[in-house]
Amino acid sequence: EAGVAQSPRYKIIEKRQSVAFWCNPISGHATLYWYQQILGQGPKLLIQFQNNGVVDDSQLPKDRFSAERLKGVDSTLKIQPAKLEDSAVYLCASSLEAGRNQPQHFGDGTRLSIL
Amino acid sequence: AQSVTQLGSHVSVSEGALVLLRCNYSSSVPPYLFWYVQYPNQGLQLLLKYTSAATLVKGINGFEAEFKKSETSFHLTKPSAHMSDAAEYFCAVRETSGSRLTFGEGTQLTVNP
């Protein structure tokens, strides 16, 4: 089966600019996650969707980050305006459902550099 | 909130030697625990998971981990390291409510020829 697809792989922008990342989960996976992985750290959950509804966005900096999952399939994560501390890899993951023992399948991520 | 601590941000072993990567968790209830591996410029790949069944869990690529409740540990081992095992390894715990994964800081494994 095809894995989680993310684009772009790399993005370089200046601070205060805006940027968007796209994720296409594994076909049939109802649950979609966005993680932020800062260099030298483990991934941190930003937002979790169940179909097209938000389940957990408690760690999403809502003043500058937004995400949507229209039609319960693809998802977009946006940062506006970007700050230097947003430099990180943004990982998308999906799972068949939200159960505790369901493994999450990760994409290769988008590496964002803020100048 | 649950958390995991990975002891040693860098571990170096010789090819053919035992690999031991340490993970301790904090939880007041039996957790679900996971080990993931991340190769350079790639996403995370699931190695194995503990979901309250057998305490010794076997995963892919010859890795296994043992859940020890008395020590609140879930250490990852492999009897004989290969060069291809060089990567970053993350231990993660799943919250008792919801499905959020909380990751440790990661351990970078280097395998020397």
Residue A100 scores a pLDDT above 70: no
Question: Which residue did the predictor score with more confidence, B21 or A97?
Answer: B21
CB A22 within 8 A of CB A28: no
C-alpha closest to that of B96 among B24, B25, B5, B23: B25
CB contact (8 A) between residue A45 and residue B32: no
Token pair in block for residue B21: 């990567």
CB contact (8 A) between residue A100 and residue B32: yes
d(CA A13, CA A111): 11
Which residue(s) pair with A47 in the sheet?
Answer: A34
Q: Tell me whether B59 touches chain A (CB under 8 Å).
A: no
Residue type at position A23: C
Model pLDDT, residue A2: 81
DSSP A15: T
Give tens-digit pLDDT for A30-57: 999 999 999 989 999 999 999 889 999 9
Percent with pLDDT over 70 in chain A: 97
Lowest mean pLDDT among A1-15, A57-71, B71-85, B91-105: B91-105
Model pLDDT, residue B98: 65
Average of per-residue pLDDT values in chain B? 91
Residue A88 scores a pLDDT above 90: yes
Strand order, beta sheet including B3-7:
B3-7, B19-26, B73-78, B64-68, B56-58
In order of A112, A115, B10, B72, the CA distances from B41 in angstroms are 12, 20, 18, 31
Model pLDDT, residue B113: 94
Pairing verdict, β A88-95 and B10-14:
unpaired
Confidence of residue B85 (pLDDT cuts 50, 70, 90): very high
CB A42 within 8 A of CB B103: yes
Helix (H, G, I), strand (E, B) or coil at B62: helix
Cα distance from B50 to chain A (closest Cα, Å)?
A: 8
CB contact (8 A) between residue A103 and residue B104: no
Interface probe, candidates B44, B93, B108, chain A, greatest A C-beta count within 10 A: B44
Which residue(s) pair with B33 in the sheet?
Answer: B50, B93
Provide mean pLDDT across the span A56-62: 93
Q: Which residue carries 């892919």 as its tokens?
A: B60
Model pLDDT, residue B65: 97
CB B2 within 8 A of CB B100: no
Model pLDDT, residue B3: 87
What residues in A contact B43, CB-CB < 8 Å? 4, 91, 93, 106-109
d(CA B95, CA B32): 8
Q: Tell me whether A8 touches chain B (CB under 8 Å).
A: no
Phi, psi of B5 (to 5 degrees): -125, 125
Q: Tell me whether A107 touches chain B (CB under 8 Å).
A: yes
Q: Tell me whether B105 touches chain A (CB under 8 Å).
A: yes
What residues in B contact A40, CB-CB < 8 Å? 9, 105-106
Percent with pLDDT over 70 in chain B: 95
Give tens-digit pLDDT for B2-49: 789 999 999 999 999 999 999 999 876 778 899 999 998 888 999 999
Q: What value does the CA radius of gyration of chain A take, rounded to a whole number of Å? A: 13
Model pLDDT, residue A17: 97
CA atoms within 13 A on the CB side of B65: 31
